[in-house]
Structure 1
Amino acid sequence: MKLTTGQTYWDKTAAPAAHFPLLNENHTTEILIIGGGMSGTLAACKLAESGKRVTVIDRAEVGRGSSSANTGLLQYASDTMLSEFVDRIGEEDAVLFYKMCLESMNQLTEIASKLPETTGYRLRDSIYYASTQNDADKLKREYGFLNKYNFPAEYLNHTQLLEQYEIDKPAALRTWHDAEVNPYQFIQALTEENLKMGVTYFEHTSIDMDSLNDTSVLTETGAQITFDSLIIATGYSNLYSELNGKAQINQTFAIATKPIKGELWKDNVMVWETKKPYLYFRTAPGGRMIAGGLDEESSDLHDDPELIQQKGQEILDEIKEMFPKLDVEIDDAWNSLFGISKDGLPFMGASSQHDNVYYLLGFEGNGTCYSMAGAAIIQDLLDEKPNPYAHIVRPSR
């Protein structure tokens, strides 16, 4: 399955950390991770740090799947508001889930602090604006819950939003402890650190999931991998049977602009909105802007470059309506898959079919943050330690 079409931007900004061999002979490991994107890379880091022997398998090249299409907005706030989760799963679990995300953002920031600055990891505030006047009331309710539980958030009315950020929308929430990142460079830099900790990598190696049993799995070329535990971190490449009726694969569009001189907007804040599907955008080093939106409920990616460019222009035109002074053109435009769940939560934890198989699938629009959380949850499950968040995101829910 194709994960992206068009021309992505991030994978042009760095060389891979290394080129890894195809696995063509039997292999034994303690932890087998399928998928070398953001989820698999973070899990490998977390587990290798704890002393586990880890092998990562990727069917293509590390970091060049869905992660290369990631727009790199990292936020503790979910696509589903805290207040909406309160209505959906109850206040206690809703607050726990948001605390999990905030903790994960802080953990990502700590990891990034030990990596080269070329990863583009920068702490940024986020502006989450009301697309309509009715949504301004939703944001007031949302702020009430965020404030009640001391999440880093501030409510901005129309006047404050216009004066401070020149955004002419009814209201907004400003949040912090958020960040932007070059996802491809982050994965490559963290892969280098993982190699130092003894993680083994194989590329261009596909797994035959039908061959999976309690202790081993075969590659499509017939090599056997024996493991103690297996982590499935394949992103949106497959909708596993355990998720039937719980999730679906959709698609979205994104752009990277040509460089622009000067500050694009105040503090280079990351911007997104309450409307669904929503517009989202941020700045990037070199005076570029990264933006996305126009989600479609289909997993059939568009191959027509002109259509992808047209969708990208629609995204850019919407941003220009907000900031009329912007003189900017598209450099790269792409179309990519992403996963959503019916309850707005990712799938992270033990399989109901195999005791030693775990899912690390950051479905919904906050995948990197979820992947960090999921890596910690799986580590606790492997070590038989209690985790306060595991029950909320367990795949069998």
Structure 2
Amino acid sequence: MVKNLYKGNLYWDKTLLNPYEFEKVNTDLSTKVLIIGGGFSGNLCANVLSQSGMDVTVVEKSKVGTGSSVASTGLIQYRSDKMLSEFIDEIGEEKGRLFYQMCLEAVDNLTAINNNLNGDTEYRLKDSIYYASSKKDEKKLKTEFEYLKKYDFPVEYLDKIQLNDRYGIKKVAALRTWHDADVNPYKFIQVLIKRNLEQGVKYFENTNIDLDSIKDNSIKTKDGNIIKYDKIILATGYSKIYPATKKKTLYNRTYAICTKPLENLWTDEVMIWETMEPYLYIRTTEDKRIIAGGLDEERNILEKNQLRRLVKATKIADKVKKLFPNLDIKIDYYWTALFYGTKDGLPFIGKDPDRSNVYYLLGYEGNGMCYSMAGSLIIKDLINGVFNKYENIVGLDR
């Protein structure tokens, strides 16, 4: 049975007609590298590995690009849900700095990949505003600024007057960061598939894999076909919890809205989020809609009641209206989606501790697209026997 990852009326899948379609696995197969999962992570990894000359096959349980990726809000930021200062307190200054450096490089690498694609992905370089939700958060915002500045991350501190003058946001303070971006994840995946096909990647969809049937060099589909491989990469998002990750995983669901198109949006249409948890996050689209989300709950099941989802959507819209009272916000789409985090705020990327040819690419936490990019490069290095300075920070045996 395929696990539902979202419920409601999504926006991104309405923006592109005629997505790629692929056959299901209906015979035994053999490949050098098998990637399970055809979302953002799986496709990015396929791109990186095939570009380096590897024979890659991607298998997706439903339709490629229609899992949690299509429910994503498409924010790409080098800053994590957990502050650099918080990571430094927990894992030390060097590891904390390296993790943030990994994320910054990942955004730049994503931008470079996008610039070499042939198609409209709605990828846009954007600044981000991270504001203090209350006066008491001003101090930790200043501390975060000092650490980011110390290590030359792209950041500016805005006081109350600067924040209001530039962006019309009436909060006590904020950090402005750049080297961030937003994207239409559905279009990005489809355009990336086009490039991957040109690089020889083979795709299969509507194929349910028995993820508990992994052997040394083979795995079974639920229909009984066997796929042989040298390396297997599990890029399955939130659809499967593995023994190696179960004890460190946090289970959440989030809510999001997409408005009708608006006029006179805020300066530069910067991405916006806040220090409060769960936080409000806001971005715009190319056709001048607002996508906003938040109100996360610690639940591993979707909200099935449509009226309750609408109540959550209305609360999110009200939060945006409070921030920008001049905007006439009308909800056009709204949905809920599963969203997993980790107990230490780090994704799960790297080798299975007990099986040397099994790799995980699980971009848990709120910066999943960034982690997908970084993880693809880490896994490429692991496969090639090349040391990657980030592998021990995000590895499963940390």
TM-score (norm 2): 0.98
Counterpart in 2 of 1:242? 244
Counterpart in 1 of 2:86? 84
Instruction: Please state whether the residue corresponding to 1:193 is helix, strand or coil.
Output: helix
What displacement does 1:386 show? 0.8
Counterpart in 2 of 1:359? 360
Counterpart in 2 of 1:373? 374
Instruction: Please state whether the residue corresponding to 1:179 is helix, strand or coil.
Output: strand
Structure 1 residue 214 corresponds to structure 2 residue 212: no
| Separation in 1, partners of 2:397, 2:17 | 39
Instruction: Please state whether the residue corresponding to 2:244 is helix, strand or coil.
Output: helix
| Separation in 2, partners of 1:281, 1:73 | 9
| Separation in 1, partners of 2:329, 2:173 | 26
Q: 1:253 aligns with which of 252, 255, 274?
A: 255
What displacement does 1:17 show? 4.0
Structure 1 residue 223 corresponds to structure 2 residue 216: no
Counterpart in 2 of 1:273? 274
Structure 1 residue 307 corresponds to structure 2 residue 304: no
Counterpart in 1 of 2:29? 27
Contact 1:239 1:249 in 2 (8 A): no
Alignment of 1:97-246 (within 5 A): 97-116=99-118, 118-246=120-248
Instruction: Please state whether the residue corresponding to 2:318 is helix, strand or coil.
Output: helix
Alignment of 1:31-46 (within 5 A): 31-46=33-48
Instruction: Please state whether the residue corresponding to 1:344 is helix, strand or coil.
Output: coil
Contact 2:280 2:294 in 1 (8 A): yes
Identical pairs, percent: 53
| Separation in 1, partners of 2:42, 2:122 | 20
- Alignment-mate amino acid for residue 321 of structure 2: K
- Alignment-mate amino acid for residue 374 of structure 1: G
Name structure 1 gaps, 5 residues minimum.
none
What displacement does 1:210 show? 1.9
Paired residues, number: 396
What displacement does 1:353 show? 2.1
Aligned pair in 2 of structure 1 residues 16, 201: CA closer, same or farther (>3 Å)? farther
Cα deviation per residue 1:52-77 (whole Å; 9 max; x = unaligned)? Answer: 00000000011100000000111000
What displacement does 1:116 show? 4.3
| Separation in 2, partners of 1:153, 1:329 | 33
Name structure 2 gaps, 5 residues minimum.
none
360-369 vs 159-168, which moves further: 159-168
Aligned pair in 2 of structure 1 residues 172, 90: CA closer, same or farther (>3 Å)? same
Cα deviation per residue 1:286-317 (whole Å; 9 max; x = unaligned)? Answer: 11010100000001101222221221110010
What displacement does 1:244 show? 2.3
Cα deviation per residue 1:212-271 (whole Å; 9 max; x = unaligned)? Answer: 10100000000000000000000011111111220122100001111112x310010000
Counterpart in 2 of 1:331? 332
What displacement does 1:15 show? 2.8
Instruction: Please state whether the residue corresponding to 1:255 is helix, strand or coil.
Output: strand
Instruction: Please state whether the residue corresponding to 2:69 is helix, strand or coil.
Output: helix
TM-score (norm 1): 0.99
What displacement does 1:115 show? 2.3
| Separation in 2, partners of 1:319, 1:201 | 40
Contact 2:119 2:191 in 1 (8 A): no
Superposed structure 1 runs of 4+ greater than 4 Å apart: none
